Amino acid sequence: MKDALVAHAKTLGFDLCRVAKCEAPPHAREFEQWLGEGRAGEMAWLERNKERRVDPQLVLPGAKSVIVLGMNYFQGEENDRREHVSTSSLPRIARYAWGDDYHDLIEKKLHALDIFLRGFCGTQKCYVDTGPMLERDFAAKAGAGWHGKSTMLINKELGTWFFLAEILTTLEFPEDAPQADRCGSCTRCIDACPTAAITAPYKLDSRRCVSYLTIELKGSIPEEFRPLIGDRIYGCDDCLSACPWNRFAKASHETAFAMRDSVTGMSLADFLSLDDERFRALFRKSPIKRIKRRGFLRNVCVALGNTGTMADLPALQKAALDPEPLICEHAHWAIQQIQKRNEKRIPSK
């Protein structure tokens, strides 16, 4: 039955299919301590579901196995338009959000696996990182990879560039062995973090993380972090890109995750002209749509404040009059930053 499961997962496009025993995740206590220290920031949903996250039997009573699935989203170095070049003319977006929303694509594949498992009289719960599970714990337990010092999962064939999904099932499968930690003395991910969010090996303070600040945080970005965000407008790949295991990563066969030409054809200042309708059209079926126009243009203003020139001021001045106060605030900040840089360039008489 397990061989049939793995084969079916492969035909659906999954690059990994491993199994862990359905029991309390190994880092349940550390997760609760992390929450207690307030390191989740405004992600209150983690606190609301904490009991279920540390006890999968509350999610699916009678579950015996957790099927861990992985899907490669790496598009190849030749398609990476932002890895080594940083200018204000192109958007800098985390790789996972370049193309279509992975939730939609993977959920359809999980549904197909659910139907397959029902044929063996199994009852399932399927999740793509939105369910009450410590998914990386189960993934490491199943041998889909190991916990890197950035807290991200690393696989020796895929590197860091893969999505995780899980199926809890009442069917019992032989569990797979975990992989050894292969990070050794390497600290490249820690050194690469622009905001020092990785406070120690295997410890992350979300409140400092650029991905949290540009995606999960709904309000104003603290001014102390704005210069550190640089030109990133949605998420951050720095700790992932720094991992030397990525030298083994191969391009994904899933073209839906490729960067959209409609997005790369726009400059940062161009984004400020988007109204709600154009924003929804541009990011239709994209993960970026979840932060809405207000969050996205907030991020664009910060990026322009860090990398923009005097030529970007007209677009920012218009944004400073936007009906959305969050956009106005960050546009005013960006204008001030550009003007300060320009003043420093003008030699005194």
In the DSSP assignment, the letter for residue 198 is E
Q: Where are the beta strands (DSSP E) in 155-278?
A: 162-169, 198-200, 203-204, 232-234
* Cα–Cα distance for residue pair 168/235, rounded to 1 Å: 29
Segment holding 305, helix H or strand E: helix 292-307
* Length of the chain (residues): 349
Query: Position 136: which residue type?
Result: R
- Strand 146-147 relative to strand 203-204: parallel, antiparallel, unpaired? unpaired
- Sign of dihedral through CA atoms 167, 97, 28, 18? positive
Plot region of 274 (φ>0 → left; ψ -120 to 50 → alpha; else → beta):
beta
Q: Which residues lie closer than 8 Å to 255 by C-beta, 6 or more apart?
A: 99
Closest CA to 48 of 37, 35, 39: 35
Catalytic residue among 129, 237, 270, 275: 129
And the tokens for 335?
A: 């204008």
* Cα–Cα distance for residue pair 60/38, rounded to 1 Å: 28
129 assigned to active site: yes
What 3-state class would DSSP assign to 71?
Answer: strand
282 touches 41 (CB < 8 A) = no
Query: Position 222: which residue type?
Result: P
Query: Position 306: which residue type?
Result: N
- Helices 292-307 + 325-345 axis angle, to 10: 10
What 3-state class would DSSP assign to 48?
Answer: helix
* Cα–Cα distance for residue pair 305/327, rounded to 1 Å: 13
Catalytically active residues are 129
